[in-house]
Amino acid sequence: MQIDSRIFSAKLLLFGEHVLLLGATALAVPLTAFSGKWVWKRQKDRYFDKMMDFAQSPVLSEIPGLDVQTFQHDLKEGMCFESNIPTGYGLGSSGAFCAAVYQRYVAEPESDPAQLKMLLSRLEGFFHGNSSGIDPLTSYLGKPVVIRQKTQVSIALQSSWNGDQPLVFLLDSTLPRKSQPLIDWFLQQQQTPVFNHFLQERYLPVHEALIKAWLEADSEDFWINLRTISALQREYFAPMVPLTVEKVWNESLEHGQFTFKICGAGGGGFVLGFAPNKEVLHTLLQDFKLHFPLER
């Protein structure tokens, strides 16, 4: 059996967690440190039953051009998706898998990014009940992606930093998480007048300015807006801040030597952080496991 050697990376939603559901701008980047690929195994893979459930689901038959029969046959013959992407950590493990399925089993894939996002969201919906499609799209394209107004998709155009690019890190909260309850909580809060006013008048303007500063490599505006977002998330998005990180998050708002924000749905898994350098992290966060996903 011929196996495609292509690697499908995890994804990191740098900016846009939850508010992308309201049409706010989101920026997602591929993470080559975590990835998966098709491999051939003679013994049955531990995820065989789940993959076969997916292969036999009505969702796949609704995707134009997807060769469901070949997919099912390959699984029975020992093909599996081998990945080091941690599950439940907000890095798009199911998204990478769906991207790999689409790439391998659709002979004439969709070329329009917006339409492709929609198709991939339907695939990933099997695992989460609802999907924005951003995770599998970023994995499939292998490039940073900007999403505006939910459906406007483009490759991100990033300016060059003048030697002072913020260091991106992931802190392991060691807590499990489930996305849907937090998504439901956010959408319920958004329906209340007070919370919706906060989003429209305070949060979203800063959020948009933050993404603009990152893409334009404007260090001064980036840190100003990031610290504001961190403080607002800590106050208004409290259920999404993992319990194990509350203390150091509060401390970061006081000393400003590094800054946290929610990673994905929040609540557990990784917390996303930014710092000027590693030295301060090793001193103040020595009790946590850190990853530096954008390092080459």
d(Cα 122, Cα 137) in Å, to the nearest integer? 12
d(Cα 156, Cα 22) in Å, to the nearest integer? 20
Domains of the chain and any CATH numbers: 8-155 (3.30.230.10), 167-291 (3.30.70.890)
pLDDT less than 50: residues of the chain: none
Q: What is the pLDDT of residue 3?
A: 63
Q: What angle do CA 31, 32, 34 make, to 5 degrees?
A: 80
Q: Specify which residues 10 forms β-bridges with.
A: 31
Q: What is the pLDDT of residue 296?
A: 60
- Phi, psi of 290, deg, nearest 5: -115, 150
Q: What is the pLDDT of residue 248?
A: 95
Q: What is the pLDDT of residue 6?
A: 86
E-strand stretches of the chain: 8-15, 26-40, 79-83, 145-148, 152-155, 167-172, 259-261, 270-275, 290-291
| Span 216-257, pLDDT tens digits | 999 999 999 999 999 999 999 999 999 999 999 999 999 999
d(Cα 76, Cα 69) in Å, to the nearest integer? 11
